[in-house]
Structures are given as structure tokens and as C-alpha cells.
Amino acid sequence: MNKKLAAALSGGAVLVLVLSGCSDDEGDKVGDWAKTFCDQAKPQIQKRANAHQIIISTAADSKPAEIQAADSKAFQDIADADRALAKAVEAAGAPPVENGEKVQQDAIKELNATAVAYEGLKKQVDALDPANQQKFADGLQNVADGLTKIEKMDQAALSKLEEGELGQAMAKQPGCQKPTASVPPKVSGSASPQAGSTSSDKGSDSTEPTKKASAKPTRKSSE
């Protein structure tokens, strides 16, 4: 049932702040800004990756109430992470690039907007009736449709920061490297997913966690 949301995630890109390529050390100011931001951003990027993986990992769950709880928590975690990322951009100051102040303000505005949007999805999920499986499935489809739109907002939120010299500087910072999230396999009878251990991964495709999840054997889902 929850594979509707997993499909929405695979269609959109998980927000990742790293670009491929390397910097030519074109100035300490840009590198210093990138380090300041990325050091603060690292736990939030990881939190988002874990939340996405929780949604994906519940795709085989057959109990609507468990799906509801997992998705609700994941959406709130992503909203919290986006707000924290907005604060990290604000704390780092205007990046030392052309139109740096506008780049900063646009990123802050868009991150806060996506946080509000994810909280809207949380409210939608919380309002579903898990006792009525058909209505729950229909409601989950509406949530998935909303998630697809928000993923596009998310991708645009920090796109300006990822361009040119600034993006190259960020790509060198460990804090902005693409995280790999994993959720421990469920024990029979348990459907309470938790974010597990993670490791750094510089894969070129930001939807790689979805691919990994879909490759794992899962229990038959119930629609």
C-alpha cells in the first residue's frame, strides 16, 4: 500500500546538496562559507535521507495504522530538517558570490516553504482512517500526488547554492556529501521502522536509496 509513496519518491529527487566535480580552490571565502554551511547541514541531510528511507521501507507493510505512523513521522522529520537547513543558510550569511544575498534569501524562503508543505502532508496522513483500508489507500494516493509536487519544490530550494563556484566548494565538504540511509530489516510481527546506521555515498543518482530498497526482498504488500 505504501508503495504509492515510495513510487512518488522514486519519481522525485531526494534533496542532496552535493554536486559531482571538484574545486580549484578559487578562494578561501567561498570555501569557508561552504564549510560553515555544510558542517551545520550534515545532520539535517542525514535526517532527511533516513526519513525517505523509512517511507520506502514500509512499502511492504500490510497494516494501514503502521504505515500511517511511519509516514507521519517521516514527513515531520523532513519538515524539521528543512527548517534547520534554512537556519543553517541564514547563519552562514550571504555566500561570497554574485547576488549572494539574494541566493541566500531565496534558499531560506524556499526551504521554509517546503517545511510547511511537508507538515501539510503529515496532516493529510494523520487524518486518514486506517480502519477503512480502501479509503486509506485512496487517501494515500492523494498524499503521494502531493509528495511528487513537493519533491520538485525541494529540489529547487537550494539549486542556486549548488551552481558554479559555490557548488564546487560545497561538493568538497564532507558535510554536504550524499548520505546513504538504511533501515534494519523488520522482525516478524514488527512493523516499526527505524533509521539505522549510515555511511557516506557519493553516488551519481540521488534516487539510489530507492533502488536499494526495491532490491531487498519484502513481504507481499496489501492494496
Question: For the segment 49-77, what is each residue's pLDDT rounded down to a tens digit?
Answer: 999 888 888 866 558 998 999 999 999 99
Burial label for 206, CB within 10 Å (0-12, 13-18, 19+), is middle
Q: Tell me the pTM.
A: 0.73
User: Is residue 11 pLDDT above 50, yes or no?
Assistant: no
* Contact (CB, 8 A) for 70 and 55: yes
Please list the alpha-helical segments (H only) found in the chain: 3-11, 28-57, 64-92, 100-127, 133-157, 164-171, 208-215
Of 141, 152, 151, residue with least CA distance to 67: 141
Query: Per the structure block, which three cell numbers stand in for 24?
Result: 580549484
| pLDDT at site 6 | 65
What is the separation of C-alpha 133 from the centre of its chain, rounded to a whole number of angstroms? 27
| pLDDT at site 93 | 95
Which run of H or E residues covers position 199?
strand 199-200
Is pLDDT larger for residue 4 or for residue 179? 179
At residue 194, the 3 state secondary structure works out as coil
User: Is residue 102 pLDDT above 60, yes or no?
Assistant: yes
What DSSP character marks residue 179?
A: E
Is pLDDT larger for residue 184 or for residue 122? 122
How confident is the model over 73-100, as pLDDT tens digits?
999 999 999 999 999 999 999 999 989 9
Mean pLDDT calculated for residue range 150-165: 82
Widest Cα–Cα separation across the chain: 59
User: Is residue 191 pLDDT above 80, yes or no?
Assistant: no
**Which of 30-44, 88-102, 113-127, 202-216 shows the lowest per-residue confidence on average (mean pLDDT)?**
202-216
Neighbours of 55 (CB within 10 A): 27
**Which of 54-63, 176-185, 203-212 shows the lowest per-residue confidence on average (mean pLDDT)?**
203-212
Residue type, 27: G
CA distance 101 to 106: 9
User: Is residue 223 pLDDT above 90, yes or no?
Assistant: no
